[in-house]
Amino acid sequence: MTTKDIQLDIRGAVAVVRLSRPAKRNALSDSLVLALRDVFQNLPDTVRAAVIDGEGEHFCAGLDLSELKERDAGQGLHHSRMWHAALESLQYGPVPVIAALHGAVVGGGLELASACHIRVADESTFYALPEGSRGIFVGGGGAVRIPRLIGAARMADMMLTGRVYNAQDGERIGLAQYLVPTGTASEKAFELAQRVAENAPLTNYALMHALPRIAEQPADQGFLTEALMAAIAQSAPEAKERVRAFLEGRANKVKKA
């Protein structure tokens, strides 16, 4: 499936979703944000993991500023909520999503990346939140998700001073979990997605839907939610078979890194 601004390529169990507005540096117009929502809400059942990357020199230049017309407060509220709904369809969608980053990952582009479950950045990547200098604020969930990756103090610094993080520093502070040579982020993300796709679906579900909520719960509630999720996951026939396979020497051992 391909829309005007997004290419969707299903490769086995992995969906590769590509932002395809390279002339506008993949700036996120309303129609592109809605198309993203639609893609993640309608992935075929055979898909077990997804990669999202960007065509051209940059992952994403953020909000399409040409659409930032005068809105009243109510319209602004609904516009931001539209982004929330779209990015929640990735974060709390059917499958884990791996972002392959290169070039600019700025503004709403960083908000999009932070809604993904894993971020792989190549050496050309740079991160910024230019909202501060544009006289606006994040509105795509960045105020919730980005502090959870790097802390509110670093995010405030990025917005107050226009600080730009390069790829190495981005990985060091937690914006990406993987740093790879220039031009290889999509390949690495696809390789990881294939690995993720082999997990038991209920384990992936727990990691996407239970873990972030447990992490936000007070400890005593978190322990209970963890126990409930653990009991459900281990009761699945697939879990029993995977454990049996290890005990019978049919499954991989963990290898030293």
Residue closer to ligand 1HE by CB (options 84, 209) is 84
Query: Measured on CA atoms in the order 94, 100, 101, 102, is the torsion positive or negative?
Result: negative
Q: Which residues face 99 on adjacent strands?
A: 52, 119
> Residue 11: which H helix or E strand, with range?
strand 6-11
- Residue 91 sits at the vertex; the CA angle it makes with 90 and 95, to the nearest 5 degrees, is 70
Cβ proximity to ligand 1HE: between 48 and 119 the closer is 119
How many other C-beta atoms lie within 10 A of the C-beta of residue 228? Answer: 12
Two structure tokens written together for 220: 């005593």
First-last CA distance in the chain? 38
Q: How far is the CB of 200 from ligand 1HE (least distance, A)?
A: 35
Q: Indicate which residues carry an active-site annotation.
A: 111, 131
φ/ψ of residue 126, rounded to 5:
-140, 150
Nearest CB to ligand 1HE, comparing residues 104 and 120: 104
Residue least distant from ligand 1HE (Cβ): 107
Classified as helix, coil or strand, 19 is strand
CB of residue 56 vs ligand 1HE: minimum separation in angstroms? 8
Binding site for ligand 1HE (CB under 6 A): 24-25, 27, 57-58, 61-66, 83, 104, 106-108, 130-131, 134, 136, 138-140
> Smallest distance, Å, CB 62 to ligand 1HE?
3
Nearer to ligand 1HE, 137 or 246 (CB): 137
In whole angstroms, the minimum distance from the beta carbon of 61 to ligand 1HE comes to 3
The least distance separating ligand 1HE from the CB of residue 244, rounded to whole angstroms, comes to 48
Measured distance CA(158)–CA(224) in Å, rounded:
37
Q: How far apart are CA 117 and CA 199, in angstroms?
A: 15
